[in-house]
Amino acid sequence: MGNVVGIDLGTTNSIIAALEDGQPWVIPDDDGVLLLPSCVGMDDSGQLLVGQSAWRQYAAAPERTVKSIKRQMGTDHTVTLGDRTYRPQEISAIILRSLKQRAEAILEDEVTQAVITVPAYFTDSQRQATKEAGEIAGFEVLQILNEPTAAALVFDLDSEDSENVLVYDLGGGTFDVSIVEITGSVTEVLASHGNNRLGGDDFDRQLQRNLADRFLQIHGTEVPNDAATQARLLQAAEQAKIALSEHGFTTVREPFLASKGETALHLEIDIAREDFENLIKPLLKETLEAIDRALNDADMTADDINRAILVGGSTRIPLVQHLVENHLPDTPVSSFEPDLCVGMGAALQAGVLSGEAVDSILVDVSPYSLGIAAVMDTPMGPVSGMFSTIIPRNSVIPISRSQIYHTASNDQEIVEVEVFQGENPIAKENVPLGSFRIEGIPPKPAGAVPVEVHFDFDINGILTVTATEKGKGQQQSLVVNDTKTGRLSSHELHQSRDAIASLFNALPLLEAENEAWNDVDVTPGEEE
């Protein structure tokens, strides 16, 4: 038994997995349930609720319940619970800490090191926030690992020939598609593409709107727009969506949803799978376009793909499977524990990093280009604000690259280094990552002072930028990460860590998780 774990910190559900004899297995809760809803709340007496208990109170008390916080990671957004406001990384830390407790109880050992997964398309600040969440929860974060890469690690291919695998990952809040080459035990990501704002939550909202429209048609009255009623409707929509993965029809029943005069109005609506499919088809079309783009980036066609793997809870929707199969007509499409394999892959990678005997090596890539705004020569003459790429998309990470730039005007004293990620030739059309200045450049003619810009993109997909003014042989440098949105200082990190730890210490509810583990019969990869 090791004290390293892999964690899939999902938009909707999270899991924690450990290794036993080199094999990953998912650690369940008291009731043998493997998935922890990524939901945090406070009950009316101010007690912290995590997971299922928070999820259950959502419809009754949405103002005291936080879900899908993953969508806010890396932003300045805050949420209030009880008498305190929380940053997204603190809410995520509560989920991680709850998973940590779960693992420590069953492993009967402290769990200190973790690999945590993120969508391949997460930006630098979203990755940083995830790493901070891990640290606040009391982990040493060994690596922030791309989810599709983690999933591919679980597929143990016997063939010694290399295979090209397409990983299609559609979860609650994000979508990724990656082309991965697996040769024996080496996994190399060749290309990755996606949308970090597309997933099952969007399908729920489409269905919620549809139910509200049909309620209006039937009763001539709008569904009340208060948070509690809308939360009930959203939960009903998600349940209907899940039922439609199994059945051709389902009935949504929500009694006393509204009233008209003295009369209570109930929602009772039949939905056919086909109606639901028509609602989500446009969103799914986007995912097929992303497949083509990833193939294109990997210089491949569908014929080059040996198999496709479906990952993420939303791939249980039959239409998703059909569309992917039709899009890749000659490729076998398979799925293995779509909710669990990302966490299991993270555990494998944690084993590799901590020196356990695990039979896999991972080569990962940067899913986007990184560079700075610069004046560039064009057929129309020099144009400022162009995007100069320093690390091209799909470079194998970790990677360090330097590029020399020159001052653009006579006697230029200041160089502003603005860092972006993206693919647009116009710098400002890409995602800004931060900026800093080098001042006190000696007065010289335009082009006479060279400035070296150095990018370090580490194994976590986190970027550090250094700029050095070479003119006088002296070095001036700054780290771009220090200036970014949504980040916590190390003092704030410590404060958060203490605050979250004390929330847990005051929590009899979670301590109950420590009991009776010996009675649970758990085998590697067991499902709920």
Helices (H), 333-456: 341-353
Quote the least distance from Cβ 223 to ligand AMP, whole Å: 21
Which residue from 171, 178, 175 is spatially nearest to 196, judged by alpha carbons? 175
Tokens of 331: 């490729």
Choose between 201 and 469: whose C-beta lies nearer to ligand AMP.
201
Smallest distance from ligand AMP to CB 175, Å: 10
Which of residues 228 and 319 has its CB atom nearest to ligand AMP in the complex? 319
Count of CB atoms within 10 A of residue 149's CB? 26
Which residue among the candidates 90, 124, 135, 147 is catalytic per the annotation? 147
| Helical ranges in 108-172 per DSSP H | 124-136, 147-154
Smallest distance, Å, CB 98 to ligand AMP? 16
Cβ atoms of 115 and 6 within 8 Å: the answer is yes
Residues 6+ apart with CB under 8 A from 313: 12, 13, 171, 172, 200, 338, 339
Q: How far is CA 24 from CA 17, 311, 338, in A?
A: 6, 17, 15
Q: Which tokens in the block code for residue 297? A: 């980036």
Nearer Cβ to ligand AMP (245/430) = 245
Burial class (CB in 10 A: 0-12, 13-18, 19+), 183: middle
**Binding residues vs ligand AMP (CB under 6 A):** 10-13, 171-172, 199-201, 238, 241-242, 245, 312-314, 316-317, 339
Active-site entry in 67, 70, 100, 131: 70
Judged by beta carbon, residue 10 or residue 422, the one nearer ligand AMP is 10
Q: Distance between CA 8 and CA 16 in Å, rounded?
A: 7
Q: Which of 90, 132, 135, 169 is catalytic?
A: 169
526 a catalytic residue: no
Give the CB-nearest residue to ligand AMP: 200
Quick one: residue 312, left, alpha or beta (phi over 0 = left, psi -120 to 50 = alpha)? left
**What is the closest distance, in whole angstroms, from the C-beta atom of residue 35 to ligand AMP in the complex?**
7
Least distance from C-beta 465 to ligand AMP, angstroms? 32
Instruction: Tell how far CA 48 is from the center of its chain.
Output: 24
Please indicate whether residue 470 is annotated as part of the active site. Answer: no
For residue 61, what are the CA distances in angstroms to 51, 58, 65? 15, 5, 7
Cα-atom radius of gyration of the chain, to the nearest Å?
25
DSSP state letters, 428-465:
GGSEEEEEEEE--PPP--TT-SEEEEEEEE-TTS-EEE
In the complex with ligand AMP, the residue whose CB is nearer, 171 or 351, is 171
User: Which residues in 236-295 belong to E strands, given as ranges?
Assistant: 249-260, 263-272
Catalytic annotation present for 458: no
**Minimum separation from the CB atom of position 246 to ligand AMP (A):** 7
Please list the helix, strand and coil fractions of the chain in percent, rounded to the nearest 5, in that order. 35, 35, 35
What distance lies between CA 72 and its chain's CA centroid? Answer: 10
Q: Which is nearer to ligand AMP, 15 or 61 (CB)?
A: 15
Instruction: Examine the residue annotation and report whether 131 is marked as an active-site residue of this protein.
Output: no
| Nearer Cβ to ligand AMP (439/528) | 528
CB of 14 to ligand AMP, least distance (A): 8
Active site residues: 8, 70, 147, 169
